[in-house]
Structure 1
Amino acid sequence: MYWYILIPLGLFFPPAAAGSELALPHPNLGFRPFHLPIDVPDGFPVRKGVVLPAYNTTYTFDQLIDHTNPSLGTFKQRYYFTYEFYEKGGPIVLSTPGEVPLDGYQGYITNGSINGAIAQANKGAAIMIEHRFFGKSNPYPDLSEESFKVHTLEQAIDDLVYFAKTVVLPMPEGNSVGADKAPWLLFGGSYAGALVSWTMNARPGVFWAGYSSSGVVQAIDYYWGYFEPIRQNMPKNCSADIERVIKYMDRVLILGSQREKYNFKAQFGMSNATYLDDVASTLISPLGSWQGLSPNSGPNNTFTRFCDALEVKNGVAASADGWGLKHALKAFGDYMKDYLTKACGNNDIDKCISTRNKHLSVAVGNGDRSWKWFCCNYLGYWQDGAPSHWPTLVSRLVTPAYSNRQCSNYFPKTFRAEAPARPKVQDTNAKYRGWNTTIPRIFFANGKRDPWREATVSSDFINRASTPQNPIAVSDGFHCTDLGIGNAIDPTVAKVQQLALQYFTQWVNDNARRVEKLTPLREKKMQGCTLL
């Protein structure tokens, strides 16, 4: 059985560091584009009757702190690895969990994942490596702005390249399978899926082929499109009533009297909230659980419970038009009161939801700070209200300016308060090609119901066709659904996975034929050198 954790991403937080200001569970930091763990088979991997180390055996690699200045030394970068299916000449499948710790992601080196299934089909080995500044793979002992000078997309890309070129893998002849001697395949989902495309564009020739699942290849600062797949695919009664509540909230918070504003805040459990845009942003939080859905999600999943709280009254579900504003206000308000009690615990509600407090801990392990740095500098992905001409599940008080301002709070030495950050998304897209990538042999797998769809090559805002060199396969799935073999319970996901297996088998065979043709030429060249 393969499973996905259902959790609103705004609640995915590490504990506070001792002696630091509280790293509160924050409803207003946005949703990270990461893929979730999958289950791990029982027992140990076995190769030709020999029991291999457990899937969760953690290895380390001496990674360069700064690829532009190797003299700064190295740090320990963690990874999982297995060669249970490997035969000489087979590919090495490399992946990273992206902006989350490595722990728990060993399922992606097993054949319960598309990574492992393709490794098995092609007699390859599989690796999952931790991203710098997430988890325990840190060049420096804190997450300060000074440390983050080496926390860049370029450094992350070069980590993958340097690993592929120089690692000695813990297996027989592990020193002879570097990227110059064996075909390396780069896999990833979500941000890690974008890294596949960005790496192969920035450093062509290192990885023979890539698999990008829900790859958010296009950096977008005003990313209101996050909520479009949710709005399009969620229960119609639920979306109708949420839209009513949001429209009413915006009118009250912008034009209402002080009494009306207070009453609205109180109805949603935020009576002492200071900033109205923080109030408006907090109502986004329940929508985050959509990202964790999969074909295996039962009827008791978090998102369905949220909509049921709004749309089921006395055991009866509303029609597609919903119950209307009066009921929706009370039901949504009651839900948020309970939600904030769980999210904030005994902490003051105003402090819990505020984005004006400089409380992102610099302690190692605070992935929210590490991810925020990427967003502020390179990616944006600000999940805001839709333009005025478009239906919206999110308040139009939540704008890119609201998100940009947070960068000055959390990184004041880098982004001055008087000149709020503007992520350099145009530079990122120009450098790594975004939607326009044409680097050969990247398989793009996306889901129609993925909230990150609009940042992928399957966005509604572009007209990107599938080609043999850049296949684009779209299922009815959610975020990175195709990465888990157990999700083949959905026939559209199974079709994507089967197509991927066909393409990668072909590409691995193409590489073998290419190497076979090159071998006589190399030998002839070497003989010529010997004669000289």
Structure 2
Amino acid sequence: MLGFVLLVASFLAIDVAQADGRPHLNMIRPPGMPLMSDSQPLGPVTSRNGTVLPPFNQTYWFDQLIDHNNPSRGTFKQRFWHTWQFYEPGGPVLLMTPGEVNADGYADSYLSTKAISGQIAQQQNGSVVIIEHRFYGLSNPINDLKAESLKYHTIQQAIEDLEYFIKNVILPQPDGDRLTPDKAPWVLFGGSYSGALTSWTMVNKPDLFAAGYASSAVVEAILNFWRYFEPIREHMPANCSADVQVAISHIDEVFSGDNKTAIQEMKDLFGLGEMTHLDDVAGALRNNLWDWQSLQPTSQNSLFYEFCDALEVKDGVSASAEGWGLEHALQAWGNFWTEGGYLQRLCRNNSPEACLGTYDPNQPFYTDTSIDNNLRSWMWIVCNEVGYLQEGAPKGHPSLVTRLVQPPYDLRQCQLMFPEAFEKPPKVDIKGTNKAYKGWDVRIENIFFANGMRDPWREATMSAEGLDVKSTPEQPIGLGDGFHCSDLSTASGLADPTILAVQQAALASMKRWLADWKPSAAHDGARVPAPASGSGPKPEGRTKPAPRKPLSAWSKGAGVA
């Protein structure tokens, strides 16, 4: 009997404030492995043999190679956190990076049994390591985020980091110098982008990791990722969905016309009258839909549902599934931004143009190259390798967000942020990324994919609708009724049975896979320098997925799909 229950607290929303304190909230959202809001220190930590261990937030530093294609460039300091609370000789080492974020604060949850990583470690007598991704937080090969420095910021370099780390680190535990992957099984895990990195690494480095756990893993690079909003449309309150669709369609119609009075009145309705560019105004309204990304099964009184209540509750009465209609929806949405304080929450003390405008190349959002600027580091990956541009749906398909924002809008921001790298808007090499790391075509052994039906990133995962991919014992795909990375949390509370079933299936898979692992020279785990040349993606074509099935054709049942 697996003795844990699921998730009491919601996850913290992504922090979109820049280094200078000014938010910039009119750009695509990174996937974001969640930081658990209940991640308070647990007090003294002891091992199973009674040894008092350092606190989870004890920071260690590893000498990582700046450039795995040219080790002679030297090393930089890469942060990591570690515990061997449940470790016994012969147990695995679990390795995770939070991905596209400063890793401070992740240790207190992800090193403990509040997270699935700790549950796996407890079950398998393992230790756990969290490593900060290069060019995020304080783990920077170069001490700035200029384009010339960011040439070392690639998916492949991140993969090489993981290999070099597990082959060369001496972990702060009794046998920490004898845990190379030829002598001990390593398990790679992560969520969101770092879940994708788990899959990509196991494809690129076969036999290096004994097993992997990939939560909400966005394995497929997609340029125009308009389907980001599809799980939201499918699962949000029907009345709210209906009114948002009719309102945004009308806004697009007004902004596409030549009635200057109507255009100004529409801008003023949302407190955005001073803004110059209509695509910025319409694009800014995506923020209300992006708020869905921070939801979890126990979310209550969230900002997203405050928004829907503002639109759908009138004089104490909720609208039917058809909503109240255009007139009320528009006015209520505008009031939510102005009288309801949503614009103030977004922009703090900044003007709407400074906060939500995207056309001024002198904005700090574009020019700040100091380290620990997560959105800049993420934009480099977006603009070069993955895309994930969250735009309006094609004409003829229901859309929750404006169709005035299309890929050229976001690719222009790439050019403004990195003018020395892009003389014109970039052509994102999604074909090369999917060719190199297999995307939806991944077929490897001993990796568990855990996904959620309500996850806005679902359509880039192995549970995207229309994929003809079978869940197998070697590559299970667990599908619960959760949101983004809901399965990562195992904090005590009322369990969602579908997510709990996914977690139980993952633990069973890990137990089976690790029981079969044997030390072998084939793992090539000796402490050796990085490879002399990279093996990153090349721009070639790939096979398209099977035609998409409607949602009704998919089971919403618990556990492994």
Fold shared per TM-score above 0.5:
yes
Q: CA 1:518 to 1:226, structure 2 compared with 1: closer, same or farther past 3 Å?
A: closer
Map 1:91-490 → 2, pairs under 5 A: 91-106=92-107, 107-298=109-300, 300-337=301-338, 338-358=341-361, 359-360=364-365, 361-416=368-423, 419-486=424-491, 489-490=495-496
Report the Cα offset of residue 324 of structure 1.
0.8
Q: Secondary structure, in 3 states, of the residue corresponding to 2:164? A: helix
Partner Cα distance (2:98, 2:139) in 1: 12
Report SS of the residue matched to 1:75.
Answer: strand
CA deviation map 1:288-323 (0-9, x unaligned) = 12111112212x111111111111112211111111
My pick for the range that moved more, 70-79 or 43-52, is 43-52
Aligned residue type for 2:293: Q
Mapped partners of 1:201, 1:518: distance in 2: 16
CA distance in structure 1 between the aligned counterparts of 2:233 and 2:391, rounded to whole angstroms: 14
Distance 1:64 1:493 in 2: 38
**Compared with structure 1, are the counterparts of its residues 264 and 179 closer, same or farther at alpha carbon in structure 2 (3 Å cutoff)?**
same
Q: Percent identity?
A: 49
Question: In structure 2, how many angstroms separate the alpha carbons of the residues matched to 1:68 and 1:158?
Answer: 9
SS in 1 for 2:28: coil
Q: Give yes or no for contact 2:18–2:373 (8 Å, CA) kept in 1.
A: yes
Structure 1 residues 279 and 166, CA gap change in structure 2 (3 angstroms): same
SS in 2 for 1:426: helix
Which residue in 2 is equivalent to 1:12?
16
- Counterpart residue identity of residue 494, structure 1: L
Confirm or deny: 8 A CA contact 1:283 1:336 kept in the other structure. no
**3-state DSSP class of the match of 1:489?**
coil
- Give the whole-Å Cα distance in 2 for the aligned partners of 1:517 and 1:392: 54
Aligned alpha-carbon RMSD (Å): 1.6
Choose the corresponding residue for 1:502, options 508, 524, 542. 508
Amino acid at match of 1:447: G
Aligned residue identity for 1:493: I
**How far is 1:12 from its partner?**
2.0
- d(CA) in 1 for partners of 2:337 and 2:360? 22
35-44 vs 88-97, which moves further: 35-44
SS at match of 1:77: strand
SS in 1 for 2:213: strand
| Contact 1:454–1:461 (8 Å) recurs in 2 | no
Distance across 2 between alignment mates of 1:488 and 1:155: 40
Q: Look up the SS of the partner of 1:446 in the other structure.
A: strand
| Residue of structure 2 equivalent to 1:528 | none
Residues 41-79 of structure 1, C-alpha deviations (whole Å, 9 max, x = no match): 621221122211101111111111111111111111111
Letter in 2 for 1:12: V
Q: Distance in 1 between matches of 2:359 and 2:466?
A: 33
Preserved CA contact (<8 Å) 1:237 1:321 = yes
Mapped to 2, the partners of 1:71 and 1:201 lie a distance apart of 27
- The whole-number CA distance in structure 2 between the counterparts of 1:6 and 1:329 is 29
Q: Distance in 2 between matches of 1:488 and 1:445?
A: 20
Q: SS at 2:478's partner residue?
A: strand
Structure 1's 431 and 492: CA in aligned 2 closer, same or farther, altered over 3 A? Answer: same
Q: Does the CA-based 8 Å contact 2:183-2:519 persist in structure 1?
A: no
**TM-score relative to the length of structure 1:** 0.93
Cα shift at 1:256: 4.0
Partner of 1:43: 43
The gaps in structure 1 that reach 5 residues or longer are 17-22, 520-532
Q: Which SS does the other structure have where 1:278 is aligned?
A: helix
2:127 & 2:146 partners in 1: Cα distance? 36
Q: Distance in 2 between matches of 1:422 and 1:321?
A: 41
Task: Name whichever structure is richer in helix by fraction.
Answer: 1
Q: Contact 1:56/1:80 (CA < 8 Å) preserved in 2?
A: yes
Question: What does residue 53 of structure 1 align with?
Answer: 54
> Contact between 1:40 and 1:112, CA under 8 Å: does it hold in 2?
no
User: What SS is found at the alignment partner of 2:61?
Assistant: strand
8 Å Cα contact 1:44-1:55 kept in structure 2: no
The separation in 2 between residues aligned to 1:447 and 1:256, in whole angstroms, is 43
Contact 1:6 1:289 (8 Å CA) reproduced: no
Q: Counterparts of 2:315 and 2:11 in 1: how far apart (Å)?
A: 30
Distance between the aligned counterparts of 1:58 and 1:516, measured in 2?
31
Shift of 1:357: 2.3
User: Can you give the 5+ residue segments of structure 2 that lack an aligned partner in the other structure?
Assistant: 1-6, 524-561
Tell me the equivalent position of 1:62: 63
- TM-score between both structures, scaled by the size of structure 2: 0.88
Contact map agreement 2:41 2:56 (CA 8 A) in 1: no
CA contact (8 A) 2:182 2:521 kept: no
Tell me whether 26-35 or 182-191 shows the greater mean CA deviation. 26-35
Tell me the secondary structure at the aligned position of residue 419 of structure 2: coil
Deviation per residue, 1:315-336 (Å, 9 max, x gap)? 2111111111111111111112
Deviates more, 1:199-208 or 1:230-239: 199-208
- Once the two structures are TM-superposed, the CA of residue 477 in structure 1 deviates from its matched residue by 0.3
Residues 72-113 of structure 1 show CA distances to partners (whole Å, capped at 9, x for unaligned) of 111111111000110111100000100011111011111111
Distance in 2 (alpha carbons) for counterparts of 1:89 and 1:440: 21
For residues 347 and 12 of structure 1, what CA distance do their matches in structure 2 show? 14
Q: Which amino acid aligns with 1:402?
A: Y
CA contact (8 A) 1:446 1:480 kept: yes
| 3-state SS of paired residue (1:80) | strand
Deviation at 1:40, TM superposition (A): 4.3
Q: 1:81 — aligned with what?
A: 82
Distance across 2 between alignment mates of 1:113 and 1:344: 33
Question: After superposition, what is the alpha-carbon deviation per residue over 1:383-437, rounded to whole angstroms, capped at 9, x for unaligned?
Answer: 0000102100011111011111111100001111xx3112110110001000000
Given that 2:385 and 2:430 are in contact with CA atoms closer than 8 Å, whether structure 1 keeps it comes out as yes
